[in-house]
């Protein structure tokens, strides 16, 4: 018995076609998310089991009574979300979102493929065999995948979105409405919005699915653009704030420097008078502190010196040990506002992390700036508690951490990108490390 002998009515799309389509577009969004879970062997096994599970379930439940249609589709959608959740490192809301998009794309691609195949069978006299149908599947899915990939890469991709409840409600409603309209004629063919004729049924189904896909894509693009605009505004706000902090720090450091300068001359004058041994030791200690301040505040870059000195003054008040070895001349090609924002954000994030440590002896921050061949290497390490997840060398924060420090990380990334450099962050053995590499001269 051939495959098509099992299909009594060509107006019915075999369930296996939808299973392949659901799996294929779920895999597409998993890959585009860039959050594969586990080793290659695990990925391959999970993918195979996902395809096998969908295929077996949809073949077994094919041609079931109409009243079971909605419950069975709910089970299938749940299975798609579970498959995505097991395949990549996402939370539940992200898995549902990717599941919605994969489900809707699968609906559209399967409907389009079967409609075109039915048209060529009935209108063009195409022979009825599996080989030709497989060619149709290959061509249609290839074209749809390429178009989808082009849109995703051009308009923001499947990057990290803040999936709010109103946004999730909107995309869920679009998916549900499009799905119900696309399948209305298969369940109820005597309504004002359904048809009894196969060609019309297929057109209604494909167009409804297309509108659903378009609606979800538009929502995604608008969400990406809105989020990027908010990030840009936040980064600009941080840059402005860091610039204002720099001006205030410059005034504070200038005042402290004058006081130290006057104190140094006062000590010199005192030494011209007869003093006892205890007073001499006290003066020696004061001069040592002055030398440390002068050495710490002279990095070779006026802006960097001001930022580091002002942060060190705050650190001293909070029991934080800040060590800095910096060749400030190496970053002379950077604009002052960028120097202020970059090092201000790095040190602010580090200070926020070490403040959480109860043991003050562990409140350590180390900053270094040095030349390395044709590059400038900037390194900052600080102690921290807890665990951090990373994606492409940048920390993946939870919602609370993202609100507190996420924009600081993005500010660092945007400045490094401006100068054609690279940044990598990692956590190891209680140390959080930031490593930045900038080409000399800022990449030309």
Segments making up each domain of the chain, as ranges: 3-231, 299-444
Phi, psi dihedrals of residue 272, rounded to the nearest 5° = -75, -15
* Angstrom distances, CA of residue 232 to CA of 56, 187, 297: 47, 48, 32
**Banded model confidence at residue 59, pLDDT cuts 50, 70, 90:** confident
Yes or no: say if 396 and 390 are a contact pair by the CB < 8 Å rule. yes
Average pLDDT, the chain: 79
Q: Does the pLDDT at position 65 exceed 60?
A: yes
Q: Does the pLDDT at position 5 exceed 60?
A: no
Q: Would you state the pLDDT for residue 444?
A: 54
% of the chain surpassing 90 pLDDT: 20
* Of the options 3.30.390.50, 3.40.190.10, 3.30.450.260, 3.30.565.10, the CATH number for the domain spanning 299-444: 3.30.565.10
* Rounded Cα distance, 86 and 37, in Å: 7
Q: Would you state the pLDDT for residue 242?
A: 67
| pLDDT tens digits along 320-362 | 888 888 888 888 898 888 888 888 888 888 888 898 888 888 8
Average pLDDT over residues 26-51: 87
| pLDDT tens digits along 306-323 | 888 878 878 878 888 888
% of the chain surpassing 70 pLDDT: 75
User: Which has the higher per-residue pLDDT, 271 or 27?
Assistant: 27
| pLDDT tens digits along 132-176 | 878 888 998 999 999 989 888 877 655 567 788 999 999 999 999
Classify 289 as helix, strand or coil.
Answer: helix
* Rounded Cα distance, 268 and 151, in Å: 72
Q: Would you state the pLDDT for residue 189?
A: 66
Phi, psi dihedrals of residue 392, rounded to the nearest 5° = 55, 40
Yes or no: say if 73 and 103 are a contact pair by the CB < 8 Å rule. no
How many Cα atoms within 13 Å fall on the side-chain side of residue 78? 7
**pTM (2 d.p.):** 0.64
Long-range contacts at 159-168 (CB < 8 A, ≥ 24 apart): 159/224, 160/396, 161/97, 161/220, 161/223, 161/224, 161/227, 162/227, 163/93, 163/94, 163/97, 167/219, 167/223, 168/93, 168/96, 168/97
| pLDDT tens digits along 387-443 | 765 555 556 554 444 443 445 677 788 888 888 889 988 888 888 999 999 998 765
Q: Which helix (H) or strand (E) holds 372?
A: strand 364-372
* Rounded Cα distance, 151 and 153, in Å: 6
């Amino acid at each position: 018995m051939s495959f098509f002998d099992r299909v009594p009515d060509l107006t019915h799309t075999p369930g296996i076609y939808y299973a392949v389509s659901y799996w294929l577009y779920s895999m597409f969004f998993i890959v585009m998310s860039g959050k594969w879970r586990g080793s290659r062997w695990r990925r391959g096994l999970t993918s195979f089991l996902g395809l096998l599970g969908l295929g077996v379930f949809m073949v077994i439940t094919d041609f079931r009574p109409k009243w079971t249609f909605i419950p069975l589709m709910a089970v299938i959608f749940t299975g798609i979300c579970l498959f995505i959740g097991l395949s990549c490192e996402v939370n539940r809301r992200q898995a549902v979102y990717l599941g919605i998009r994969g489900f809707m794309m699968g609906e559209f691609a399967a409907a389009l493929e079967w409609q075109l195949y039915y048209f060529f069978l009935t209108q063009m006299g195409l022979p009825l065999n599996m080989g030709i149908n497989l060619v149709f599947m290959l061509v249609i899915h290839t074209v749809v995948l390429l178009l989808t990939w082009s849109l995703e890469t051009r308009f923001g991709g499947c990057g990290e979105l803040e999936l709010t409840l109103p946004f999730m409600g909107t995309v869920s409603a679009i998916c549900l409405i499009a799905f119900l309209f696309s399948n209305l004629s298969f369940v109820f063919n005597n309504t004002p919005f359904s048809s009894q004729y196969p060609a019309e049924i297929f057109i209604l189904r494909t167009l409804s699915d297309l509108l659903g896909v378009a609606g979800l894509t538009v929502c995604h693009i608008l969400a990406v653009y809105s989020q990027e605009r908010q990030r840009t505004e936040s980064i600009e706000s941080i840059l402005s704030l860091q610039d204002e902090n720099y001006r205030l720090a410059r005034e504070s450091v200038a005042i402290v420097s004058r006081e130290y300068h006057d104190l140094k001359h006062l000590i010199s004058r005192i030494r011209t008078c007869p003093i006892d041994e205890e007073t001499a030791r006290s003066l020696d200690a004061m001069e040592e502190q002055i030398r440390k301040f002068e050495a710490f505040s002279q990095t070779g870059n006026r802006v960097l010196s001001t930022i580091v000195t002002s942060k060190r003054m705050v650190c001293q008040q909070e029991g934080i040990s800040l060590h800095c070895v910096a060749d400030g001349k190496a970053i002379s090609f950077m604009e002052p506002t960028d120097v202020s924002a970059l090092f201000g954000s790095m040190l602010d994030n580090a200070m926020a992390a070490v403040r959480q440590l109860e043991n003050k002896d562990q409140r350590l921050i180390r900053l270094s700036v040095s030349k390395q061949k044709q590059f400038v290497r900037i390194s900052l390490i600080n102690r921290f508690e807890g665990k951090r997840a990373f994606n492409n060398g940048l920390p993946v924060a939870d919602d609370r951490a993202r609100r507190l420090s996420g924009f600081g990380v993005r500010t660092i990334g945007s400045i490094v990108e401006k100068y054609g450099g690279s940044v990598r962050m990692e956590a190891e053995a209680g140390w959080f490390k930031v490593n930045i590499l900038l080409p000399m001269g800022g990449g030309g």
